[in-house]
Amino acid sequence: MPVPERKSNPKQYGQKQQFSEPEDKSTPLGKEDKKFIQEVTGTFLFYARAVDPTMLVALSSLAAEQCNPTERTMAKCKQFLDYAATQEDAVITYRKSDMTLAIHSDASYLSEPKARSRAGGHFFLSENDQDQDPRDNGSVHTVAKIIKAVMSSAAEAELGGLFINAKTAVPIRTTLEELGHKQPPTPIQTENSTACGVANNEIQPKATKAMDMRFYWLKDREARKQFRIYWRAGKLNRGDYVTKHHPAVHHKTIRPTILTPWKVVEALRAKLNKIAESATSSAARVC
């Protein structure tokens, strides 16, 4: 009996109860199929990290299951390969900036098996303007990572996402400074007002033993002027895309905002060719 392909979990707005996915009880795969899934994950991971971050969530989920894959894992793997085969080549466009690091941080609560959550981060280079929301740019790094610990609330998951993204940003800041680009406090955007308030010491939490390490580390680094954590609406947060599995319509809507559509690249190439031909004709007339 065929195993259904992976589909995104439908959002149940206004529901008091949100049910998790049923446990995977499909048949375990043999050694050859297991090796195939591992090869797919390893082959595409570098490409996804370097050029096409839209693949990272799917690859992360496959990697989490590759040690003990089942027929359902193989169905997810084939669906991913169908996506890779049908999409145009990925292109990231970078715009001139002050080489100041900025981050959009997000997390999805209880979105992964075993009651785990996922952290997402969009890292880009922008202008050195500490009073404004940084202008978006092409991604220089993307975080799409399952948080190992089980989070006890959405605010804790968001705080965990802030912690992971801030820890990732520390060596990137150091690299940029050693290249001669002095870094002000790195702006980190979050859509969760509670996590933002806790990190900025605007909210005094109680019974936060589970959050203590992340909470105090972020407060310490913000006090050192290494980070500036601020709130902004979720629809303006680029980190949201890599925190969960989305329906196809969402991919079609958001993908062109992360990657440059190929038709734009072809139009620019045609324009440059026309300029080059014009310059060649002018040079020939002068001669």
Distance CA(232)–CA(70), nearest Å, equals 40
> CATH no. for residue 108?
3.30.420.10
Q: From CA 161, how far away is CA 144, in angstroms rounded?
A: 10
The Cα–Cα gap between 237 and 172 comes to 20
Could you report the per-residue pLDDT of 54-97, keeping only the tens digit for each?
999 999 999 988 888 999 999 999 999 999 998 888 899 999 99
Mean pLDDT within 30-54: 92
Domain contains 171: yes
pLDDT tens digits for range 211-228:
666 778 888 898 889 999
The helix (H) or strand (E) run that includes residue 83 is: helix 71-86
Q: Is 49 domain-assigned?
A: yes
Instruction: Examine the domain organization and report whether 47 and 132 are in the same domain.
Output: no
Q: Are 222 and 200 in contact (CB under 8 A)?
A: yes
The one-letter amino acid at 145? K
Residues 69 and 130 in one domain: no
Report the Cα 79 to chain-centroid distance in Å: 20
Inside any domain, residue 69: yes
- pLDDT of residue 1 exceeding 60, the answer is no
42 and 116 together in one domain: no
Please indicate, yes or no, if residue 10 is contained in any of the structural domains: no
Kindly report, residue by residue over 131-168, the tens digit of the pLDDT: 778 999 999 999 999 998 888 888 889 999 999 999 99
* End position of a domain, from candidates 64, 86, 108: 86
Residue 254 is part of which domain span? 100-258
Strand order in the sheet with 116-126: 139-147, 116-126, 100-112, 186-190, 227-231
Residue 148 resides in a domain? yes
Q: What is the largest CA-CA distance in the chain?
A: 82
Structural domain contains residue 128 = yes
Amino acid at 263: K
Residues in the chain: 287
127 with 240, same domain: the answer is yes
Q: Of 145, 174, 134, which is closest to residue 61 (Cα–Cα)?
A: 145
User: Which amino acid is located at 258 in the chain?
Assistant: I
Beta bridge partners of 202: none
What are the strands, taking DSSP E only, across 88-138? 100-112, 116-126
Q: What are phi and psi of 189, to 5 degrees?
A: -90, 135
Confidence of residue 113 (pLDDT cuts 50, 70, 90): confident
